Structure formats: C-alpha cells, structure tokens
Structure 1
Amino acid sequence: MTKLRNVCRHIRSKQAGPFWVTMDIWFDSAENFQRYKDSPGLSPEVFEKLFGTDPDLVRKIPVPDFDLVKISYPRANPQGGMVERDMHSGQQYVRLLDVELEGPSGID
C-alpha cells in the first residue's frame, strides 16, 4: 500500500473558524491526484477514527486544477476550550501522514 506522505508534495491543516478544521492535501502529480483522490484512506470513516468526528459532517472537495483535496471536519472541542491542545490546528495533519491509500484498482 502507498502511504499519503509518499504521494504528496505538501499536506497542511489549519483552523477553519472555532469549530472546524481543514486539511489541504497537495498531490505530487496530476496522475497521483487522479489515482488517490477517491481512496478509502481519505474517507469520512478514517476521519472519524483519527479525529473523533462525525463522518456525516466530513466534507471533501477535490480541486483538480491544483492536484489538491480539501477535507473539512468539525473539531472535537471548540478552539480555545479547556482541553485545547492545538489552538490553530496546525499539527492535525500529522495523523494523516501514514494513512494507506489505494487506487481505483484496489492494488497499490
């Protein structure tokens, strides 16, 4: 299986207001974008497992002009709350680095 870190040139996470986080995933080529943009490794269920979010609220937006997939999900706790560990959500992407991706054929 291919890990996300091996097919991306940049991955970033950031706050999208006090209640949401956005991940920007830039693939290293148009071919890899097409191959992995719909991978089960980027499914709402993976975000539920990694970030404890409701999979029904996860939003995934492919942006082919930039070989980018943008994924937004609600924060488990509001920004600045008592249990805040990453105020600007800048470190949330790290959990995605080792996510395994599979292409349309299911074999990678």
Structure 2
Amino acid sequence: MAKLGELASLIRSKNAGPFQLTFDIMFNDPAVYERVKRSGVVSREAISRIYRLPQEQVLFFFVDNALAIKASIPRPIFQGDVGDTDSHGGQQYAPLITLNIP
C-alpha cells in the first residue's frame, strides 16, 4: 500500500475560473499511472465523497497520453468572495495526498 502523494509526480489544484476548481494528478511512470488507475481509488465517487459534493457535480477523466488524472468541481466559495481563504485554489488538493493505493 502506498499513498497517492508518494506515487504521483505532481498533485495540484487551481482555479478553473472564479467558480470552479480543477485538480491534476500527474505521473512520470506509465506503470504507476496504470496501477493508480486500475485501483479505482481515484474516481468521480472518491472526489465526490472527499469534497462532499453530489457525483453529478464532479467532472472526472483519465488522460492516458499525459499520464494524468483530472477532476473539476464547483468552488465552495466563489473566488474573492467573503470567506474565500484560498483565492487561487492552490491548497485544495491536500486531501488527495493521503489516499491509499493498493
């Protein structure tokens, strides 16, 4: 068992406009990417559960030719609105780091 943060070469989040966040999980090694993909641990359902959203609000896809997993979700607070503590969305990836991958 390994943590996603140990397997991925990059895990990041960022704004996809003022109302959306996007997550990128990237790998250097095709075998490691396939391991994570086949595990089923990183999925639309997982993102939905982690960020407490209905599954239909999660855009999720694998980008095989880039060895990447991508997801987008609505921002919980619009960028720059009162209460927004992460204007650029760059800190929202943290819960993904500790996902256990068999």
TM-score, length basis structure 2: 0.87
Aligned twin of 2:6 = 6
- Tell me which amino acid in the other structure corresponds to 2:91: Q
Aligned twin of 2:47 = 47
Matched, 1:100 2:100: yes
Aligned-partner Cα distance in 2 for 1:38–1:86: 32
Tell me how large the CA RMSD over aligned residues is: 1.6
SS of corresponding position for 2:79: coil
User: How many residue pairs were aligned?
Assistant: 102
Aligned twin of 1:64 = 64
SS of corresponding position for 1:41: coil
Q: What is the Cα deviation at residue 32 of structure 1?
A: 1.3
Q: What is the Cα deviation at residue 47 of structure 1?
A: 2.1
1:53 and 1:75 in contact (8 A); partners too = no
1:9 and 1:28 in contact (8 A); partners too = yes
Which runs of 5 or more structure 1 residues have no equivalent in the other structure? 102-107
Aligned twin of 1:36 = 36
Q: How does 1:19-34 map to 2 (within 5 A)?
A: 19-34=19-34
Q: What is the Cα deviation at residue 55 of structure 1?
A: 1.8
Matched, 1:86 2:86: yes
